[in-house]
A and B are shown apart, each in its own frame.
Chain A
Amino acid sequence: MRALIPFAVVAVLLAALPFATDSRYVIGQAILMLFYAIVASQWNLLFGFAGVFSLAQMALFGLGGYATAMLGTYFGWNVWLGMPLGAIAVTLFSLILGLACLRVAGAYVALLTLAVTQGIFVLIVTDTDCFQMVGATCRQLTGGAVGFARFGDLGTREIFGGRNFVTANYVLVAMLFLVTMAFTAAIVRGPVGLAFRALRDNPGCAEARGVNRFQMQLLVFAASAFFTGLAGGLYAAHFQSIGPGVFSLSTLLLIIAMAVVGGVGRVWGPFVGAVLLTLADEVMREFGDYRALGLGLIIAAAIVLMPRGVLGLADAALERRKRNA
Chain B
Amino acid sequence: MEILGPVLVSGLTTGALYALATLGLSLVWGVLGMLNMAHGAMLTLGGYAAYAVVTAAGWPAPAGVLAAVLAGAAAGVLIHVMIARPLVRRSPETFETSVMIATFGAAIALQNTILAVAGGQPLGQPLSLSGTARLGPLVAPWQNLLIIGVSIVLMSAVALYLARTRGGRAIRAVSQNREAAALMGVPAEAVYLRVLALSGALAGACGLLVSSLTQLSPTLGSEPMLKAFIMCVVAGLGNIPGAIVASFALAMIEALVQYHFGARWGFPVLLGIVILVLIWRPTGLFGRATVQRL
Tell yes or no: B183 within 8 A of A by CB: no
Q: Digitize B87-104: 1 where CB-to-A-CB distance is under 8 Å, 0 elsewhere.
A: 100110010111011111
Given contacts A112-B278, A293-B113, A304-B82, are A299 and B101 in contact (CB under 8 A)?
A: yes
Once the chains bind, are B275 and A297 in contact (CB under 8 Å)?
A: no
Q: Which residues of A contact B35 (CB under 8 A)?
A: 107, 110-111
Q: Digitize B181-202: 1 where CB-to-A-CB distance is under 8 Å, 0 elsewhere.
A: 0000000000000000000000
Query: Which of B29, B86, B226 is within 8 Å of A304, CB to CB?
Result: B86
Q: Digitize A198-218: 1 where CB-to-B-CB distance is under 8 Å, 0 elsewhere.
A: 000010110010000000000
Interface size, B (range): 35 or more
* Cα(A204)–Cα(B292), bound, Å: 9
* Cα(A24)–Cα(B16), bound, Å: 53
Once the chains bind, are A118 and B226 in contact (CB under 8 Å)?
A: yes
Once the chains bind, are A289 and B115 in contact (CB under 8 Å)?
A: yes
Tell yes or no: A303 within 8 A of B by CB: yes
Interface size, A (range): 35 or more
Q: Which residues of A contact B103 (CB under 8 A)?
A: 300
Given contacts A119-B271, A126-B264, are A303 and B278 in contact (CB under 8 A)?
A: no
Stretch from A149-157, A224-232, A253-261, A268-276 that touches the partner: A253-261
Tell yes or no: B230 within 8 A of A by CB: yes
Once the chains bind, are A100 and B105 in contact (CB under 8 Å)?
A: no
Instruction: List which B197-246 residues lie within 8 A (CB) of chain A.
Output: 222, 226, 229-230, 232-233, 237
Once the chains bind, are B112 and A296 in contact (CB under 8 Å)?
A: yes
Once the chains bind, are B101 and A103 in contact (CB under 8 Å)?
A: no
Query: Which of B101, B110, B222, B272 is within 8 Å of A260, CB to CB?
Result: B101
* Cα(A122)–Cα(B94), bound, Å: 31
Query: Which of A100, A122, A202, A292 is within 8 Å of B108, CB to CB?
Result: A292
* Cα(A256)–Cα(B98), bound, Å: 11
Nearest CB of A to B95, in Å = 10
With both beta carbons as reference points, the residue of chain A lying nearest to B94 in the complex is identified as A307
Tell yes or no: A290 within 8 A of B by CB: yes
Q: Digitize A279-296: 1 where CB-to-B-CB distance is under 8 Å, 0 elsewhere.
A: 000000000011011011
Interface residues of B (CB under 8 A from A): 29, 35, 82-83, 86-87, 90-91, 94, 96-98, 100-113, 115-116, 222, 226, 229-230, 232-233, 237, 264, 267-268, 271-272, 274-275, 278-279, 282, 292, 294
Please provide the 7 A-B residue pairs with the shortest distance between their CB atoms, ordered closest to farther.
Answer: A299-B105, A296-B108, A296-B109, A300-B105, A204-B294, A126-B264, A293-B112
